[in-house]
Chains A and B, each alone.
Chain A
Amino acid sequence: MTILLYLIPTALTLGGLALAGFLWALKSGQFDDLDGAAQRILFDDPADTPPKR
C-alpha cells in the first residue's frame, strides 16, 4: 500500500493546481465579461499588428 503515499499527494496536487488555476482566472477578470469573451474570438487582428492588406 506504499503506493498510496505517492498517489494521494499526486491526486491532491493535481486537484490543487486546477483549483489554483480557476481562482487565478477568476481573479484576473476572465469571468467578468462572459458575453464579450464569446464574441471576441470571432475577430482577428491583434492590436499590435498594424493593418496591411
Chain B
Amino acid sequence: MNALIDIAVPVQSACLHCGGPVSAGERYCCAGCRSAHQLVGELGLDQYYRQRQFDPAQRRPRPEANHQGSDLSAWVTTDESQAGGTPRAHLTMMVDGLHCGACVWLIEQALLRQPGVITARVSLSTRCLSLAWQPETTTAEHLASIVESLGYRLVPVAPDCLRNRDEAELKGLLRAMAVAGFAAGNLMLLSVSVWSGHGDMAPGTRDLFHWISALIAIPAVGYAGRPFFKSALNVLRHGHTNMDVPISLAIILAPSISLYETFTGGEQAYFDSAATLLFFLLIGRYLDLRARRLAHSSAEQLMALGGEAATVILEDGSLRDIPARDLKAGQRALVHVGTRIPADGTVTQGESQLDISLISGESVPAKVGPATHVYAGTLNLIAPLTIAIDKVGDATLIADIKRLMEAAESRRNRFIRIADRIARYYAPFVHATALLTFLGWITLGHLPWTSALLIAIAVLIITCPCALALAVPVVQVVASHHLLKAGILLKSADALERLCQVDSIVLDKTGTLTVGRLELQPGYDLQALAIAARIAANSKHPLARAIARAGGDLVPAAPVTEIPGQGLEWASTDGLWRLGSAAFTGQADDHSSDHVLWLLDPHGKAASFHLADPIRPDAVAIVADLAKLGPIEICSGDRSAPVAHLARQVGISTWHALQMPADKVRRLEELRAAGKHVLMIGDGLNDAPALRAAHVSMAPTSAADISQNAADLLFQGDALRPVTLAFAIAKTSERLMRQNLALAIVYNVAAIPLAIGGLVTPLVAAISMSTSSILVVLNSLRLNARRRRQNPSQEGA
C-alpha cells in the first residue's frame, strides 16, 4: 500500500508528510517527516494522506527536530477502582496543528494501535485529545511522543479546565429546550383538539384533556424555566428588573391559574401557551449564548498553562526539562534553537538572534549576546543561548501585557446591547400593564379575582417578547455565517452592533497595513539570486528566508556556516561565497531604511538584495473608504521614518511612532474621552492591550495568538477588504435587528388592547406568538437574499 502511494505520486514538489516545500528530487523536507511518513505506513494508516485537507490557518504537521518530551506525570490522573482491578490512567491534551477529520482519525488510530491504550478520542471542536490507558503497559510520555512524531504539538491540560461554564450552560439550555419542545408539541395536540371540539366536546373530556395537559406542563415548565427563574431572582435580589421577570411571572402564573381552572372545571387553560412561550424563548437564549461564546483559542490555553517546556541547567551542569511555569528566578536555562525563551532573563552565554515580533511586532530579528536582556515569548533563531532567569510567571513582560489588557477591558465602557436597552424600558411597561388590567377588571369590571388574573396573564403572555428574544440572535447567526464565508470570524456577539457606531479608526503599521513579512524587492540580479537562495536555504533568519522563498526554495548549498548576526559563508569548490550584512561582505553601508543583504562571490564581485515588508495590496483603497467613516491614524511601535513613509504611501496624515503598548492604550483612551468610538486594527502582541481598550477591534489571522484573542473580529488573507465588508454586513444586520425589534414590539403592542379587553383566548395567544416569531425569523433571513444579490460570485464559493 505504501509502495503504491509512492509510485502514484512520482513527481511532486511537496514533502510527502507535511506538504511543505522540498528541495528538487527530495521526497521529504526533513528527517522528522521521513520517519513520520514511515510510521504512518507501518501502522497502515496511509488513508490519511489521501483524505486530508490542509487548513491554511494551521501549522504544517512537521515534527520538531530532536524534540524532547516533557514530564507529563503532573497531569495524569489514575483511578485504581476500575472493574477487573486494572488501573486506568487518564490524560487530556490540547492538540496544536489539527487540520481536518483526517488528522483526528490519524491520531486516534495511531494511539489505539499501541498496546495498553484503552480509549483515544480527539474532539475537532475543542481540539482536545482524551486518552485512557493501562499504566503498567505504557506511559503518557511514550504515547505523547508518538503523536508528536507525527507532527502535532501537545499541551497537557487539566481536564476540568475545558468544561468551562459556557459549555455547561449551553448543554443545560439544550436540555431545557428539548423538554420545552416536547411539552409544547404534546400540549398543542391536546389544545388543538379542545379548540376544535369547542362546543361539541363534553365537559368531562375537556377536563380530562386539561388534567393531562397539567400533568405535562407543570413539570416541564418547572424544569425548562429554570434559566429564567434564576436570572429573574438574581436581578430582583439586586433591586432591578429585566425581561426575565415578566417572563418568569407569565410562565409560573399561567400554569398555576390554569391548574385552578382545571380544578374548578373552567373552560380556558393556558398550559400550551406557557410551554410554547418557553420553547421560543429558549431557542433565542440558546442562539444568543452560542454566539456570545468566544472562539476557543489554543494559544490562550498555552499561555495560561505555561505549557511550554524549559530546559534548566542544574548545579552539577546536567540538564532537565520542566514546565516553564515551574522555573524560579536565579536558575539558568538553556534555550535551544527554534524554541521560545521561557522567562525574562539575561543572556550569560552564546550569541544569537531573537524573533521579537511577539513583543514589538517587528519583523527584523534582534541581535543578542552576553548581558543582553531577553523577554519570555521571543523565539531563538540561530544558536543556543544560556540565560540567567530573573523574572518568571507573573513578573514577565508577557504577564505585564496581559495585565494591561485586563485593565483596559475593565475601563472600557460597558456596551449595552440594543435588545437589552429596549428590554430595560419594555419590562416595567409589561408589569404595569398587566397589573393595571388585573386591578381594572376587579374594581371597574367587578370580576372575581380569578377571572381578572386570567386576563392579566393573557396580557403577560401576549406582551411577552418571544419575538423580541429571537429578533437579535437570529440576525447574529445569519450575519456571522456570512462573515465566515467572507473569511471573517466574529468573536464577540455584539461586535457587529459596536462596529456600526465606529467614527474613528486607529491602525497598527507592521502586519496590519503591511503584510508583516519581508519580501524581495525588484531590481536584483537573477543569477545572483539563484546562488543566494541556495545559501540562504540553510538559515532560519527572516532575511535569509525571504531570499530563499524568492528563489523558489532550491536545494540548500553545502557546506554553509552561519556567523550569528553577520551572515552566511559557503565554501564552494571555486571559493568562498558570502551572503550577509554590508559590513560582513565589505560593502559601504548606506543606512537606507530598507533591509539590504549582499552576496559576495569568490572574486570580490558583490550583488545586493533589497527587502521590504510590502503594503497590503488594497491598503490605499480601503484606507480611503474607511476615511469616510471618520479620522484615521497610525499608532506604531516602529521608528518615525518608516512610519511616516508608510503613512504617506497609504494617505494617512496622522501618525504616532515609537508607541509602547501602554502608549497605544493611552491614545485610545484620549480618543474615547473625546467621545469617539474607535475601531482598532492591529496584530502584534504589543497591540493586544489596545485591541481590548478599543470600542471594537479587528486583527488579521496572521496576528500574534494573544492579539487574536483580544480582537472582536478576525480576518483572513493578505487583503484589507474584509474590513469594509465587515462594516457593510454590520450595517445591514443592524438595520435588520432594528426592523425585527420594531416588528416584534408593534406586533405585541397591537395585541395588548385585545388582551386587556379579555378577548385573548389561549387560541389567540398561541397564534399570535407563533406568527410574530416566524415573521422575525423570516425577516432575518432577508440578509441572505440581500447579500446574494450584492455578491453573486461569493455566494457560489
Contacts and interface: CB of A to CB of B under 8 A. Distances in A.
Interface of A: 1, 4, 8, 11-12, 15-16, 18-19, 22-23, 26, 31-36, 38-40, 42-45, 47, 50-51, 53
A23 B174 CA distance: 9
A47 B112 contact: yes
Pick the 9 closest A-B CB pairs, nearest first. Answer: A39-B101, A51-B44, A36-B124, A33-B123, A47-B112, A35-B124, A19-B182, A43-B105, A33-B125
A16 B182 contact: yes
A42 to B, nearest CB: 6
Interface string B118-129: 000011111000
B101 A15 contact: no
Interface string B214-255: 001000000000000000000000000000000000000000
B186 A4 contact: no
A36 B123 contact: yes
B47 A45 contact: yes
Contacts of A45: 47, 109
21 contacts: A1-B205, A4-B205, A12-B212, A15-B186, A16-B182, A22-B178, A23-B178, A26-B175, A26-B178, A32-B125, A33-B125, A35-B125, A36-B104, A36-B122, A39-B101, A39-B105, A40-B104, A42-B51, A42-B101, A43-B101, A44-B47
A35 B113 CA distance: 24
Given A33-B126, A35-B125, A42-B51, A26 B112 contact: no
Contact of A43 (B43, B47, B123): B47
A27 B379 CA distance: 43
Chain B contact residues, majority secondary structure: helix
A29 B186 CA distance: 27
B179 interface: yes
B105 A40 contact: yes
Contacts of B329: none
Nearest to B51: A42
Contacts of B383: none
A44 B101 CA distance: 12
Contact of B171 (A26, A36, A39): A26
Contacts of B108: 47
B5 to A, nearest CB: 12
Interface string B97-113: 00011101100110011
B44 A33 contact: no
B699 to A, nearest CB: 23
Interface of B: 1, 43-45, 47, 51, 100-102, 104-105, 108-109, 112-113, 122-126, 171, 174-175, 178-179, 182, 185-186, 189-190, 205, 208, 212, 216
Contacts of B47: 43-45
Question: Which secondary structure characterizes the binding site on chain A?
Answer: helix
A23 B175 contact: yes
A15 B190 CA distance: 13
Given A42-B101, A43-B101, A47-B108, A12 B216 contact: yes
A51 B41 CA distance: 11
Contacts of A33: 123-126
A33 B128 CA distance: 10
A52 B47 CA distance: 13
Contacts of B186: 11-12, 15
A33 to B, nearest CB: 4
Contacts of A4: 205, 208
Select the residue from B101, B113, B126 with max chain A CB neighbours within 10 A. B101
Given A31-B174, A33-B126, A40-B101, A15 B44 contact: no
A30 B178 CA distance: 15
A12 B186 CA distance: 7
A4 B204 CA distance: 13
Contacts of B125: 32-36
A15 B182 contact: yes
Given A36-B104, A39-B101, A43-B101, A53 B44 contact: yes
Contacts of A53: 1, 44
A43 B124 CA distance: 15
A19 B178 contact: yes
B380 to A, nearest CB: 35
Given A33-B126, A36-B125, 13 more contacts: A11-B186, A16-B182, A18-B182, A19-B178, A26-B171, A31-B171, A33-B124, A34-B125, A38-B101, A39-B104, A39-B105, A47-B113, A53-B44
Nearest to B178: A22
A19 B668 CA distance: 52
B20 to A, nearest CB: 23
B100 A39 contact: yes
A22 B176 CA distance: 11
Nearest to B106: A43
B1 A19 contact: no
B122 A43 contact: no
B109 A47 contact: yes
Contacts of B113: 47, 50
Contacts of B171: 26, 31
A18 to B, nearest CB: 7
Contacts of A51: 43-45
A46 to B, nearest CB: 10
Nearest to B167: A32
A15 B105 CA distance: 36
Contacts of B104: 36, 39-40
Given A36-B123, A42-B51, A47-B108, A11 B189 contact: yes
Nearest to A35: B124
B225 to A, nearest CB: 17
Contacts of A23: 175, 178
B370 to A, nearest CB: 49
A53 B1 CA distance: 8
Contacts of A35: 124-125
